[in-house]
Amino acid sequence: MHHCLSLRPSSLVVVLLTGAAGCVGGSLTTTATQPSPVAAPDAFSCVRQQLGAVGFSQTSYDTERLRVAARRFDETQRRPDTQFRRMVDRLEIEVAPGTGEALSTITVEASTFAELTTQRGPTEVQERASETARAAAETILRECGRGADDTGVPTPEP
């Protein structure tokens, strides 16, 4: 009997791990941070207002930790896969107290998922963050990372 490939179980694990490591090509999520001259609660309010302006729907928020999550469905994408349903862009935003001149710091994580319809139900597979998700993150940071004269949110007196 001739075997083309003979591997011990421990060798198989090494081959699988090596193959998986070769598939990892960097982060799929895009993270961006912007200091803001606006107090954290005001910056958080700005972030929540900007979500609608960039076409995202808020899915959850935490006023105590100043975090908000939002998503946007893209039904226009098509793929030659019968299980493919749509693309889902997600934003996870956190506003933290700042240091120095920055009264707060805004951090946005943008990610994109392909939503598939499988036998077990809807399944999301993460992909590299889409241009739409990255642009929305940049817009939110730009709009909420400015001073009061740009956003309309009052800056506290020094």
The pLDDT value given to residue 4: 46
Asked, for residue 93, whether it belongs to a domain, the answer is: yes
Asked, for residue 21, whether it belongs to a domain, the answer is: no
The pLDDT value given to residue 147: 63
DSSP characters over 56-106: -EEEEEETTTTEEEEEEEE-S---S-TTEEEEEEEEEEEEEE--TT-SEEE
Asked, for residue 35, whether it belongs to a domain, the answer is: yes
Asked, for residue 41, whether it belongs to a domain, the answer is: yes
* Residue owning tokens 């207002």: 49
Asked, for residue 94, whether it belongs to a domain, the answer is: yes
The pLDDT value given to residue 130: 96
Asked, for residue 110, whether it belongs to a domain, the answer is: yes
CA distances (Å), 112 to each of 21, 22, 94, in order? 21, 21, 18
Q: What is the pLDDT along the chain (158 residues), one digit of tens a residue?
A: 444 444 444 333 333 333 344 455 578 999 999 999 999 999 999 999 999 999 999 999 999 999 999 999 999 989 998 999 999 999 999 999 988 888 999 999 999 999 999 999 999 999 999 999 999 999 999 999 886 444 344 444 33
Asked, for residue 22, whether it belongs to a domain, the answer is: no
Q: What residues contact residue 70 under an 8 Å CB cut-off, 6+ apart?
A: 51, 56, 57, 58, 59, 90, 91, 93
CA distances (Å), 25 to each of 9, 12, 16, 45, 92, in order? 27, 22, 16, 36, 22
Q: Is the pTM of this model over 0.85?
A: no
Q: Cα–chain-centroid distance for residue 87?
A: 13
The pLDDT value given to residue 6: 44
Number of domains into which the chain is organized: 1
CA distances (Å), 119 to each of 79, 116, 138, 141, in order? 19, 10, 37, 39
The range of the structural domain enclosing residue 142 comes to 28-151
Asked, for residue 157, whether it belongs to a domain, the answer is: no
We report the CATH number of the domain holding residue 115 as: 3.30.530.20
Please state, in angstroms and rounded to a whole number, the distance separating the CA atoms of residues 78 and 86.
8
